[in-house]
């Protein structure tokens, strides 16, 4: 494969994780403006794992995902009762606090006569694991794709299960769900942990693909984009957010289509699309219809 | 020390009055529509860019530029309302918000196509040195911002609470379906509230940019988030709340900047916001936001 295409596909795969994390929260009815924080936590934790502590990549990625899940739970516990704009703004405040804390964090050690580790607003350089091990970009893409495929398969099973139906009930009407005997608190916390872990995994991969991260990358623009990807691609299936990311990064950012006018065209198309399909291209109704055809 | 505190508080109140106007605009839109317009700041920015264009191309003075800025913001607001809010009925609040985000990206690119450099000069409204009252330095253009904010708030309060239109507006904000049954044209009320909010935002944005004497493409994001934070600090959905939230944000920022520098200032603001949101849930638990009235 040509290098440009490999880069684009890797990018789509990594951003898909944070889009999926926003999607999981949307399923239980929470709009988050703060998923960039957990992407950032995962990136920093996994980066420290390989670059500072010399851990293997797999372990570092796991640590990134766990750290992000813990972060998301720390946000979910005090904000569990908040809904709509209240939750959205609380998650934004949390994410901005996290970004500023990263700007203030200094944790550098000397390795091979060079300082590595987070250096405040200057960023975190030298996360060179995949280069030092001679891992090819195509091999790294394969890792991203395998992890994403496993995640999507897991979510597909989850959505068909009783738990999946419970999720959508909580998202639809919390009170009604509680009255039907669903433990809303536990359902939402479970979803928060999963969403945090997915964002953190994406962040860990991102840190290793780009070798350099800085707090500014994890600002609210990333968070709102992640949210938008789900609504563009569709909220009926976990493939929706992936489709949204693919349309934005794959079709527009990478090809030089409409150079200079890209956002004018894309922004307008998204607005019109949302008038036509307020819950995205692959929405629940379409999925339901497809399932009926499949059964026949 | 006491002098610093007093100076910071006065500075904060003046900056905060612009935040309060932005928060009032957000409150007006959210109160009537129950939807979040992320394009609020970028619409104001389009107005300011058109104002700058008139200034650079035709050498127009501050008064014309101010007028073009406000009218431009209203025109952009009209576009956003027609495209992202009017066509989406019922439960599609999230779709409206995401659509307004998409239009934000569109407006930002439009602004950089109009004027591609990173920053442009914007004419000052009053170009005279600051004066002193009881040892406190006061800039005339900031004082004008405070005055304009007070006038705008009074006008809005009178409109909402003392006019027939205001009655219809409050009815729509409280219960859209009932208002419709009573013969109120809720879509028209929504559009007028939206345009009024855009005009208010345009005025606030113009005053801020004229005091800074420059405009950058970051202004849209700045205005959206300052307005949102001020509105939420004041407790979503009331006119006095938006004003208090805006002033509080201004004062906290001024003190934070003076004592701790810009990074910790922002940390302080977001920590305060987070705390306000979490505690409100405790106090107001069981009160769905839809029942809060403007």
Minimal CA–CA distance to B291: which of B190, B186, B194, B178? B178
- What would the 3-class secondary structure string for chain B be? CHHHHHHHHHHHHHHHHHHHHHHHHHHHHHHHHCCCCCCHHHHHHHHHHHHHHHHHHHCCCHHHHHHHHHHHHHHHHHHHHHHHHCCCCCCCHHHHHHHHHHHHHHHHHHHHHHCCCCCEECCCCCCCCCEEECCEEECHHHHHHHHHHHHHHHHHHHHHHHCHHHHHHHHHHHCHHHHHHCCCCHHHHHHHHHHHHHHHHHHHHHHHHHHHCEECCCHHHHHHHHHHHHHHHCCCCCHHHHHHHHHHHHHHHHHHHHHHCHHHHHHHHHHHHHHHHHHHHHHCCCCCHHHCCC
pLDDT band, residue B174 (cuts 50/70/90): confident
Instruction: State the CB neighbour count (10 A cutoff) for residue B17.
Output: 26
pLDDT bin (cut points 50, 70, 90) of residue A254 is: low
A285 contacts on B by Cβ (under 8 Å): none
pLDDT digits (tens, 9 = 90+) for A18-50: 999 999 999 998 999 999 999 999 999 999 999
| Percentage of residues in chain B having pLDDT higher than 70 | 95
Is the pLDDT assigned to residue B294 strictly greater than 50?
no
For residue B280, list chain A residues with Cβ-Cβ distance below 8 A: 86
Whole-angstrom Cα Rg for chain B: 19
Taking the Cβ of residue B260 and every Cβ of chain A, the question of whether any pair is shorter than 8 Å is answered with no
User: Which residues in chain A have Cβ-Cβ distances shorter than 8 Å to B94?
Assistant: 26, 31, 231, 278
Burial (CB count within 10 angstroms: exposed 0-12, middle 13-18, buried 19+), residue A79? buried
Nearest to B99 by CA among B149, B158, B38, B152: B38
B285 touches A: beta carbon within 8 Å: yes
* Integer Cα distance of A97 and B229 in angstroms: 14
Minimal Cβ distance to B94: which of A78, A101, A231: A231
Residues 73-112 of B with CB under 8 A from A: 83-84, 87-88, 91-92, 94-99, 101-110
Residues of B in contact with A101 (CB under 8 A): 267
* B214-273 tens-digit pLDDT: 999 999 999 999 999 999 998 887 888 899 999 999 999 999 999 999 889 999 999 999
Least confident of A187-191, B108-112, B138-142, B162-166: B138-142
What pLDDT shows up at residue A223? 93
B8-54 pLDDT, tens digit each:
999 999 999 999 999 999 999 988 888 899 999 999 999 999 999 99
Confidence of residue B1 (pLDDT cuts 50, 70, 90): confident
Instruction: State yes or no: pLDDT of B289 exceeds 70.
Output: no
Cβ separation of A262 and B109 shorter than 8 Å? yes
Q: What is the CATH number of domain A3-295?
A: 1.10.3470
Q: Count of CB contacts below 8 A, A vs B?
A: 125
Domains of chain B, CATH where assigned: 2-126+135-291 (1.10.3470)
| pLDDT tens figures, B228-237 | 999 999 888 7
Establish if A97 touches chain B: CB-CB under 8 angstroms: yes
pLDDT of residue B163: 93
Statement: residue A273 has pLDDT above 70? yes
Q: How far apart are CA B225 and CA A224, in angstroms?
A: 13
- Predicted pLDDT of residue A152: 96
Distance of residue A7 Cα from the nearest chain B Cα, in angstroms: 24
Longest dimension (CA), chain A: 67
User: What radius of gyration do chain A's Cα atoms show?
Assistant: 19
* DSSP letter assigned to residue A249: I
pLDDT at B5 > cutoff 70: yes
CB A165 within 8 A of CB A28: no
Classified as helix, coil or strand, A127 is coil
Q: Please judge whether A83 and B278 are an interchain contact, meaning their C-beta atoms are less than 8 angstroms apart.
A: no
Question: What was the pLDDT predicted at B130?
Answer: 83
Q: How far is B49 from chain A (nearest CA, A)?
A: 16
Average pLDDT, chain B: 89
Q: Does the beta carbon of B232 lie under 8 angstroms from any beta carbon of chain A?
A: yes
What count of residues does chain A have? Answer: 296
Kindly report the number of other CB atoms within 10 A of residue B271's CB atom.
16
What gap in Å lies between CA A49 and CA A57, rounded to an integer?
A: 8
Tell me the mean pLDDT in the region A137-162.
94
Residue A255: the pLDDT is: 66
* Residue A124 β-bridge partners: A118, A213
Direct distance between the N- and C-terminal alpha carbons of chain A, in angstroms, rounded to an integer? 39
Mean pLDDT in residue range A174-178: 90
Per-residue model confidence (pLDDT) at position B286: 35
- The confidence band for B103, taking pLDDT boundaries of 50, 70 and 90, is very high
Residues in chain A with CB shorter than 8 Å from the CB of B277 are: 79, 82, 86, 89-90, 93
Q: Could you give the CA distance from residue A115 to residue A132 in angstroms, rounded to a whole number?
A: 16
Reported ipTM = 0.91
Position A1 scores a pLDDT of 73
For residue A268 the two structure tokens come to 């307008």
A271 → closest Cβ in B30, B84, B232: B84
**What average pLDDT does the structure give for chain A?**
91
Nearest to A263 among B109, B229, B280 (CB): B109
The verdict on B5 touching A (C-beta cutoff 8 Å) is no
Among chain A residues, the shortest Cα distance to B96 is held by A274
List chain A domain ranges: 3-295
Q: Which of A168-172, A253-257, B86-90 has the highest mean pLDDT?
A: A168-172
Q: What's the pLDDT at B291?
A: 36
Tens-place pLDDT, residues A256-272 = 667 778 788 888 889 99
Q: Do A31 and B97 touch (CB under 8 A)?
A: yes
At residue A2 the predicted structure's pLDDT band, cuts being 50, 70 and 90, is confident
- Report the 10 Å Cβ neighbour count for A276: 8
Each residue of B45-75: pLDDT tens digit? Answer: 999 999 999 999 998 888 999 999 999 999 9
């Amino acid at each position: 494969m040509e290098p440009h295409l490999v880069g684009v596909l890797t990018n789509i795969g990594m951003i898909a994780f944070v889009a999926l994390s926003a999607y999981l929260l949307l399923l239980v009815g929470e709009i988050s403006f703060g998923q960039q924080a957990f992407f950032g936590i995962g990136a920093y934790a996994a980066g420290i794992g390989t670059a500072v502590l010399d851990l293997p990549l797999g372990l570092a990625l796991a640590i990134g995902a766990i750290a992000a899940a813990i972060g998301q739970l720390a946000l979910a516990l005090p904000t569990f009762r908040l809904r709509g704009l209240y939750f959205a703004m609380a998650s934004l405040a949390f994410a901005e606090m996290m970004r500023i804390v990263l700007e203030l964090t200094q944790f550098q050690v000397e390795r091979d006569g060079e300082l590595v580790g987070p250096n405040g607003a200057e960023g975190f350089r030298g996360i060179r694991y995949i280069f030092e091990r001679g891992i090819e970009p195509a091999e790294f893409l394969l890792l991203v794709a395998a992890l994403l495929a496993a995640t999507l398969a897991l979510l597909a099973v989850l959505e068909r299960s009783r738990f999946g139906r419970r999720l959508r009930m909580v998202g639809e009407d919390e009170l009604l769900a509680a009255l039907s005997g669903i433990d809303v608190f536990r359902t939402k916390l479970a979803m928060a942990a999963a969403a945090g872990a997915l964002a953190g995994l994406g962040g860990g991969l991102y840190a290793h693909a780009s070798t350099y991260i800085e707090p500014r990358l994890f600002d609210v623009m990333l968070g709102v984009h992640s949210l938008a990807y789900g609504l563009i691609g569709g909220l009926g299936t976990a493939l929706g957010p992936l489709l949204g990311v693919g349309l934005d990064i794959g079709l527009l950012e990478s090809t030089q289509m409409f150079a200079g006018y890209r956002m004018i065209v894309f922004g307008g198309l998204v607005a019109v699309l949302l008038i036509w399909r307020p819950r995205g291209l692959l929405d629940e109704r379409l999925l339901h219809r497809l399932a009926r055809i499949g059964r026949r | 020390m006491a002098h610093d505190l007093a100076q910071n508080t006065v500075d904060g109140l003046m900056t905060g009055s612009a935040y309060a106007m932005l928060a009032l605009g957000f409150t007006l839109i959210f109160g009537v529509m129950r939807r979040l317009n992320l394009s609020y700041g970028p619409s104001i920015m389009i107005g300011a860019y058109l104002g700058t264009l008139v200034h650079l191309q035709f050498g127009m003075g501050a008064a014309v530029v101010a007028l073009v800025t406000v009218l431009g913001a209203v025109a952009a607001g009209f576009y956003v309302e027609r495209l992202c809010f009017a066509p989406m009925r019922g439960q599609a609040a999230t779709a409206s918000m995401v659509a307004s985000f998409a239009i934000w990206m569109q407006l930002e690119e439009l602004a950089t196509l109009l004027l591609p450099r990173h920053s442009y000069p914007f004419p000052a409204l009053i170009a005279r040195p600051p004066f002193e009252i009881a040892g406190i330095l006061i800039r005339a253009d900031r004082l004008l911002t405070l005055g304009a904010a007070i006038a705008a708030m009074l006008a809005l309060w009178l409109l909402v609470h003392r006019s027939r239109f205001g009655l219809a507006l409050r009815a729509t904000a409280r219960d859209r379906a009932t208002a419709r049954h009573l013969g109120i044209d809720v879509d028209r009320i929504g559009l007028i509230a939206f345009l009024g909010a855009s005009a208010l935002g345009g005025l606030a944005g113009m005053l801020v940019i004229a005091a800074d004497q420059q405009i950058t493409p970051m202004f849209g994001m700045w205005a959206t988030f300052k307005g949102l934070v001020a509105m939420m600090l004041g407790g979503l959905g009331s006119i006095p709340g938006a004003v208090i939230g805006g002033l509080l944000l201004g004062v906290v920022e001024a003190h934070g900047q003076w004592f701790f520098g810009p990074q910790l200032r922002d940390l302080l603001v977001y920590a305060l916001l987070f705390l306000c949101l979490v505690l409100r849930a405790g106090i107001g638990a069981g009160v769905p936001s839809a029942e809060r009235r403007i």
